[in-house]
Structures are given as C-alpha cells and as structure tokens.
Amino acid sequence: RKEVEQDPGPFNVPEGATVAFNCTYSNSASQSFFWYRQDCRKEPKLLMSVYSSGNEDGRFTAQLNRASQYISLLIRDSKLSDSATYLCAVNYGQAGTALIFGKGTTLSVSS
Amino acid sequence: DGGITQSPKYLFRKEGQNVTLSCEQNLNHDAMYWYRQDPGQGLRLIYYSQIVNDFQKGDIAEGYSVSREKKESFPLTVTSAQKNPTAFYLCASRDFGNQPQHFGDGTRLSIL
C-alpha cells in the first residue's frame, strides 16, 4: 500500500524559533514531492516543490532523502503567520499521475 | 484572473438526492482531480482525469461520478449511494508532467 506519513503534532513554538517537520513515503518510485500549507477551513496552497536533494525559499528549506524515503521542511525564524497545517504530497502512478497526501502537521506559533 | 473556480461554496443535500459540484479552470491544465477531506484528516482522491473524455477512479470513488466533456470543466456528482457525504470537497488541476497541483477554494457539503 502506498503511504505518506506525517507527525500530526501540534508543534507549539515561540516566535523566532526554528522548527522542522518530517514526512516519510513508502513508494520508492516516487519522483515528485511537494509541501502545501493549509489554513483552517481553506484549501491547500503550494508552499514548495522539492527537487533533487532539496530546495530553499527564504525562511523555508525542504530536503529530500531518497535513501531513507523522507522529505523534511525546515522553517527558520517562525512568524505568527506561519501557524497552519503543513501537508506533504508525493506522486505515484504513471508520469506523476496523482498525489498522495499526508494527514498534515499542525504548527502553532505564539508570541 | 487565472485559476480554479469551485461552486457552490456551501451545499446541502437531502436524503436520496444527487448533487453536483462544479469545478472550472482557465489555466489550460490537462489533468484535474477531486479530493475529499474530512475533519482532521488528509486529502483522499475520489476521481481524476488526465485528458478530455477520460477519467480514472481514485481511492474512494464509490458513490461518486464525474464527467470530463471539456478541458476546463470537471464536475463531481455525489449520488444517493454515498451514505456519508458530509465533507470538504476540493478540486485541483495540474499541468502536464511532474508539476504540482493547484486547488480551488472548495465546497462544503452537508446533509440536511
């Protein structure tokens, strides 16, 4: 069975903290990896695509470890506005047909 | 503006009734998807379509039906056979290849 697993949290951190989430996947043939952010009662929005070994965008860094089959998301200098649920998604099927989503990790940043 | 439009935002279904959720995209994306999200749960794939007039069942297709008569439209019908339809329904589309999916803002379906 194809699975994507995430620690549900919640992760409660103060502003300015660095926090990291992991996501493990079971399909070794997966080629595409993504992190989405979902605010309460809203649709998921693409945060980052994860290419080759990793990707960085400002305070956010995503890394891929193919040998151990996990991707990680690092958030530096956390802001109150980073509070959300973070979903990882991994492709499966021919030509990246569909994505499997993890259940998400909830982050709460407090002042 | 380019994007994915879902309607209605909220929908109520009576017992024994079929309801149809609309999803339209003007991004010229080839592939379109329907997901269901229950509270505190991840997204589960209902149906997807990679080209016009073709679609595939996802993990939880029972009680649902779709059509793809036009590239920009992928409506989802929740039939009376779906006994637990209350959920947040999300439509997504994706360009060809390994591009990410982008989502509409969802439809919340409840039973009256």
Shortest distance between the Cα of A62 and any Cα of chain B, in A, equals 15
Residues on chain A bordering chain B, Cβ-to-Cβ distance under 8 angstroms: 4, 31-32, 34, 41-46, 49, 87, 89, 91, 95-104
Closest-CA residue of chain A to B6: A43
Are A98 and B58 inside 8 Å of each other by CB? Answer: yes
Chain B interface disruption, residue of A91, A99, A103, most B CBs within 10 A: A99
Which among B3, B37, B12, B18 is positioned nearest to B75, based on CA atoms? B18
Distance separating alpha carbons of residues B36 and B31, to the nearest angstrom: 17
Rg (CA), chain A: 14
CB atoms within 10 A of CB B71: 15
- Tens of pLDDT, residues B65-89: 999 999 999 999 999 989 899 999 9
Distance separating alpha carbons of residues A20 and A88, to the nearest angstrom: 13
Q: Are B76 and B67 in contact (CB under 8 A)?
A: no
In this complex, which of B31, B33, B42 lies closest to A103 when CB atoms are compared? Answer: B42
Q: Are A19 and A107 in contact (CB under 8 A)?
A: yes
Chain B interface disruption, residue of A31, A43, A90, most B CBs within 10 A: A43
- Tens of pLDDT, residues A62-99: 999 999 999 999 999 999 999 999 999 998 765 557 88
- How confident is the model at residue A53, as a pLDDT? 75
- Tens of pLDDT, residues B22-59: 999 999 999 999 999 998 788 999 999 999 999 999 99
Question: Mind giving me the DSSP string for A37-62?
Answer: EE-TTS--EEEEEE-TTEEEETTEEE
Which of helix, strand or coil describes residue A81?
helix
Q: Is the peptide bond before B100 cis (omega within 30 degrees of 0)?
A: no
Distance separating alpha carbons of residues B110 and A110, to the nearest angstrom: 33
